[in-house]
Structure 1
Amino acid sequence: MQLIKIQTLEATLELLSGMRIGASEGEIRIGGVDNQVIRNPIDNQPYIPGSSLKGKVRSLLEWRSGAVKPEPLGYRDISAHHPTVKPILQLFGVGGGDQLDDDQARDLGPTRLAFWDAPLCSEWVERIGRDNLLFTEVKTENQIDRIAGVAKNPRQTERVPAGSLFDFRLSIKLLDIDGDGSTLQNTVLAGLRLLELDSLGGSGSRGYGKLKFRNLRLDGADIQARFDALDPFAGVTA
């Protein structure tokens, strides 16, 4: 087994609606925002953790496979009835509790995908500074009393606003057991298309976290048209 190439997939990730990926609250401030977004502690700018991207894409691909279960899929879930499970495991790896023997480990190989944290695009940061805008917005939400028909229990949630631009990047390792790598590449792209159709972060059912990948490039080559034409459910058996 030999590593023969590491490919880089890059894009601009644009928010189509406000997104919230929460941060741990170090302290509670009176009158402060209830739910804050995660920020880089150095420059205080919001970013998208690679772990959030990886977890959501993997979850959507596992749902698409038809073999989804409460815990991440493992080697024993590979079957002829669920042919997309194996590339998921090759790309994302197996769970810590899934102990593989030597033959199984050689069959899968090492984890191929590495997601990067996605910072705000420098052009977007410059625009925010030039126009004297804020990196986040605060959205107030309420609970509705169904009988009285009035709003109560208001809460404030911080979001990164629609229009924000992030630098997206991931790498894909290709081994000599992967052929031309097309199966793994197509699985990655299908996962990103599913993410576009779904959402990222909290409260997706309420319209948060809708996004679009733009200017998608694989090792510098433009693949945006290929990506936009991809049907993530094509060829998936029920």
Structure 2
Amino acid sequence: MSSTNLSSFANLPAEIRLQIWGLEARNALNPPRAIIAGHHGPRRTIAVVNTSHEAREEAMAQTGLRSVLRNYLLEDPAHLDQIGLSLEERGGYVRRSPREWYSLETDVFVLGADERILQSLCFNVPFRDAIKTIAIPAFVLDPRVAIRQFRWQSRYMMMYRGLKTVVLLRDDPAQELISHENLILNRHLYPRTNDIRIKIQDNPLSQVELDLFGFDVNFFNGLVISMRNMAPDWQLPEIKWGCLVRY
């Protein structure tokens, strides 16, 4: 439903409007969006946030949507010095700059080949720590168990401390013919794949499956102890299978 159509609900009773705004936001974010590094398509947004202030606020409240500058350099003081903006000009410059909308509750942030999420987000520590779900492509995982275990703690758990779910991406030809590696690394070859979603299995991996990755019970016990030395209330995220699909 377009933002023009949504604006026709503006005269409904407030209680009904709020339900509509929340429903539209949740529908737009389902299936979960795959936020992939290197994406150069249209700005990420959903229609309801452009409908009215009330609609935007309700969508944010119900889905954890946040507005983030598309180019992280726009708030970097060194960059602003370089382009010669005075202190008085900077506020307006940042306000007018393109922004994107992400849901910390439902969006899945996909790690690229460099094991980072979007450059505009990976250096935003408060945002990064509020992310609930990341996805790790199969081709990113190191074949060496010791290195895989080390990176799991140092690059995944320590960098994204608010995680509830980690999705291990694999191919599923029944749902998507293009491999997840091609969708991630060669998106310029698929001009109509700007909107990539992710299908996540309901059940977490079994311990037998985790053992095959080298993530046995002893590894997870050690990980919990180490992480809770830094964050006493830290909880081990669930690990699930998932696949990318064009939407």
TM-score range for the pair, normalised by the shorter chain length: under 0.3
Between structures 1 and 2, the one with greater helix share = 2
Q: Which has the bigger relative contact order, CA under 8 A and spacing at least 6?
A: 1
TM-score by length of 1: 0.20
